[in-house]
Protein backbone atom coordinates (compact mmCIF):
# COMPACT_ATOMS: atom_id res chain seq x y z
CA UNK A 1 0.00 0.00 0.00
CA UNK A 2 1.05 3.58 -0.66
CA UNK A 3 1.46 6.24 1.99
CA UNK A 4 -0.38 9.55 1.60
CA UNK A 5 2.88 11.27 0.71
CA UNK A 6 3.59 8.67 -1.99
CA UNK A 7 0.04 9.05 -3.34
CA UNK A 8 0.35 12.84 -3.53
CA UNK A 9 3.62 12.48 -5.43
CA UNK A 10 2.25 9.77 -7.76
CA UNK A 11 -1.02 11.60 -8.49
CA UNK A 12 0.85 14.86 -9.10
CA UNK A 13 3.29 13.14 -11.46
CA UNK A 14 0.72 11.19 -13.51
CA UNK A 15 -2.04 13.82 -13.55
CA UNK A 16 0.43 16.66 -14.13
CA UNK A 17 2.09 14.90 -17.07
CA UNK A 18 -1.28 14.01 -18.62
CA UNK A 19 -2.59 17.54 -18.15
CA UNK A 20 0.50 19.09 -19.75
CA UNK A 21 0.48 16.65 -22.67
CA UNK A 22 -3.20 17.26 -23.37
CA UNK A 23 -3.02 21.04 -23.09
CA UNK A 24 0.06 21.13 -25.32
CA UNK A 25 -1.68 18.96 -27.94
CA UNK A 26 -4.76 21.21 -27.85
CA UNK A 27 -2.58 24.28 -28.29
CA UNK A 28 -0.98 22.58 -31.29
CA UNK A 29 -4.41 21.72 -32.71
CA UNK A 30 -5.78 25.24 -32.27
CA UNK A 31 -2.65 26.85 -33.69
CA UNK A 32 -1.71 24.52 -36.57
CA UNK A 33 -4.79 22.61 -37.69
CA UNK A 34 -7.27 24.03 -40.16
CA UNK A 35 -10.60 24.61 -38.51
CA UNK A 36 -13.23 21.99 -39.30
CA UNK A 37 -11.12 20.39 -42.07
CA UNK A 38 -9.83 16.86 -41.40
CA UNK A 39 -6.46 15.92 -42.93
CA UNK A 40 -5.70 12.24 -43.47
CA UNK A 41 -2.44 10.48 -42.45
CA UNK A 42 -1.06 6.93 -42.56
CA UNK A 43 -3.38 5.56 -45.25
CA UNK A 44 -6.37 7.30 -43.62
CA UNK A 45 -5.93 5.48 -40.30
CA UNK A 46 -5.54 8.86 -38.55
CA UNK A 47 -7.30 12.11 -39.34
CA UNK A 48 -6.44 15.41 -37.68
CA UNK A 49 -8.62 18.51 -37.65
CA UNK A 50 -9.72 21.18 -35.20
CA UNK A 51 -13.16 20.78 -33.62
CA UNK A 52 -14.91 22.37 -30.64
CA UNK A 53 -17.29 20.14 -28.72
CA UNK A 54 -19.75 21.83 -26.38
CA UNK A 55 -21.14 18.46 -25.27
CA UNK A 56 -19.53 15.44 -23.73
CA UNK A 57 -18.79 12.05 -25.35
CA UNK A 58 -19.91 12.15 -29.01
CA UNK A 59 -21.36 15.65 -28.43
CA UNK A 60 -24.05 14.39 -26.04
CA UNK A 61 -25.66 17.36 -24.34
CA UNK A 62 -24.42 19.92 -26.86
CA UNK A 63 -28.03 20.92 -27.59
CA UNK A 64 -28.76 21.77 -23.95
CA UNK A 65 -29.16 25.46 -23.08
CA UNK A 66 -25.76 27.05 -22.29
CA UNK A 67 -26.54 27.76 -18.59
CA UNK A 68 -27.52 24.11 -18.01
CA UNK A 69 -24.42 22.89 -19.87
CA UNK A 70 -22.29 25.09 -17.63
CA UNK A 71 -23.87 23.70 -14.47
CA UNK A 72 -23.53 20.09 -15.65
CA UNK A 73 -20.23 20.14 -17.53
CA UNK A 74 -18.34 22.59 -15.33
CA UNK A 75 -20.02 22.57 -11.91
CA UNK A 76 -21.05 18.93 -11.52
CA UNK A 77 -17.96 17.53 -13.26
CA UNK A 78 -15.75 19.85 -11.19
CA UNK A 79 -17.29 18.49 -7.98
CA UNK A 80 -16.93 14.93 -9.25
CA UNK A 81 -13.23 15.53 -9.98
CA UNK A 82 -12.72 16.87 -6.44
CA UNK A 83 -14.39 13.72 -5.07
CA UNK A 84 -12.18 11.50 -7.24
CA UNK A 85 -9.09 13.36 -6.04
CA UNK A 86 -10.07 12.97 -2.37
CA UNK A 87 -10.81 9.25 -2.84
CA UNK A 88 -7.54 8.73 -4.73
CA UNK A 89 -5.55 10.36 -1.93
CA UNK A 90 -7.44 8.81 1.00
CA UNK A 91 -8.74 5.41 -0.24
CA UNK A 92 -6.60 3.07 1.87
CA UNK A 93 -7.61 -0.02 -0.11
CA UNK A 94 -6.37 1.36 -3.45
CA UNK A 95 -3.25 -0.18 -4.95
CA UNK A 96 -0.72 1.64 -7.16
CA UNK A 97 -2.46 0.53 -10.37
CA UNK A 98 -5.82 1.86 -9.20
CA UNK A 99 -4.21 5.13 -8.08
CA UNK A 100 -2.57 5.39 -11.50
CA UNK A 101 -5.90 4.78 -13.25
CA UNK A 102 -7.69 7.37 -11.13
CA UNK A 103 -4.82 9.82 -11.76
CA UNK A 104 -5.30 9.39 -15.51
CA UNK A 105 -9.04 10.02 -15.13
CA UNK A 106 -8.20 13.15 -13.12
CA UNK A 107 -5.69 14.41 -15.69
CA UNK A 108 -8.16 14.09 -18.55
CA UNK A 109 -11.08 15.43 -16.57
CA UNK A 110 -9.21 18.47 -15.28
CA UNK A 111 -7.76 19.24 -18.71
CA UNK A 112 -11.19 19.10 -20.37
CA UNK A 113 -12.58 21.20 -17.51
CA UNK A 114 -9.89 23.82 -18.13
CA UNK A 115 -10.93 23.86 -21.79
CA UNK A 116 -14.56 24.45 -20.88
CA UNK A 117 -13.72 27.30 -18.52
CA UNK A 118 -11.35 29.01 -20.98
CA UNK A 119 -13.14 28.16 -24.24
CA UNK A 120 -16.72 29.30 -23.68
CA UNK A 121 -17.92 25.87 -22.53
CA UNK A 122 -16.32 23.86 -25.35
CA UNK A 123 -13.57 21.25 -25.42
CA UNK A 124 -11.00 21.16 -28.23
CA UNK A 125 -10.99 17.84 -30.12
CA UNK A 126 -8.76 16.98 -33.06
CA UNK A 127 -8.15 13.21 -33.46
CA UNK A 128 -10.14 10.67 -35.47
CA UNK A 129 -9.14 7.04 -36.04
CA UNK A 130 -10.58 4.36 -38.27
CA UNK A 131 -10.60 2.16 -41.31
CA UNK A 132 -12.68 3.33 -44.25
CA UNK A 133 -16.17 4.22 -43.04
CA UNK A 134 -15.62 2.60 -39.62
CA UNK A 135 -14.35 5.56 -37.59
CA UNK A 136 -14.29 6.87 -34.05
CA UNK A 137 -15.76 10.20 -33.08
CA UNK A 138 -13.38 13.15 -32.88
CA UNK A 139 -11.53 13.14 -29.55
CA UNK A 140 -8.45 14.45 -27.71
CA UNK A 141 -5.63 13.16 -25.50
CA UNK A 142 -7.64 13.87 -22.34
CA UNK A 143 -10.37 11.52 -23.59
CA UNK A 144 -7.75 8.80 -24.09
CA UNK A 145 -6.43 9.36 -20.54
CA UNK A 146 -9.96 9.12 -19.09
CA UNK A 147 -10.71 5.92 -21.02
CA UNK A 148 -7.38 4.26 -20.17
CA UNK A 149 -7.70 5.28 -16.53
CA UNK A 150 -11.24 3.92 -16.25
CA UNK A 151 -10.18 0.62 -17.84
CA UNK A 152 -7.25 0.37 -15.41
CA UNK A 153 -9.50 0.97 -12.41
CA UNK A 154 -11.96 -1.67 -13.60
CA UNK A 155 -9.30 -4.25 -14.45
CA UNK A 156 -7.30 -3.84 -11.27
CA UNK A 157 -10.39 -3.70 -9.08
CA UNK A 158 -11.64 -6.94 -10.65
CA UNK A 159 -8.16 -8.43 -10.16
CA UNK A 160 -8.16 -7.42 -6.48
CA UNK A 161 -11.60 -8.98 -5.94
CA UNK A 162 -10.48 -12.18 -7.69
CA UNK A 163 -7.34 -12.39 -5.51
CA UNK A 164 -9.39 -11.71 -2.35
CA UNK A 165 -11.85 -14.47 -3.31
CA UNK A 166 -9.00 -16.96 -3.82
CA UNK A 167 -7.53 -16.17 -0.38
CA UNK A 168 -10.76 -17.07 1.45
Q: Which amino acids are annotated catalytic? A: 125, 143
Q: What's the CA angle centered on 148, arms 143 and 154, to 5 degrees? A: 125
State the first-to-last Cα distance of the chain, in angstroms, to the nearest integer. 20
Distances (CA, A) of 77 to 31, 60, 67, 134, 156: 27, 15, 14, 30, 24
Spatial contact of 111 and 146, defined as CB atoms under 8 Å apart: no
> Looking at the DSSP assignment, which residues form a beta bridge with residue 39?
48
Amino acid sequence: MMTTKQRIYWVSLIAGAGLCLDQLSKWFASYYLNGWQMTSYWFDLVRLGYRENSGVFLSLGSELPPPLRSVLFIGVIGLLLVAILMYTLKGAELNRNQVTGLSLVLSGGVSNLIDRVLNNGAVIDFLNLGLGELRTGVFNIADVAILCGAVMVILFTSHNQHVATQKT
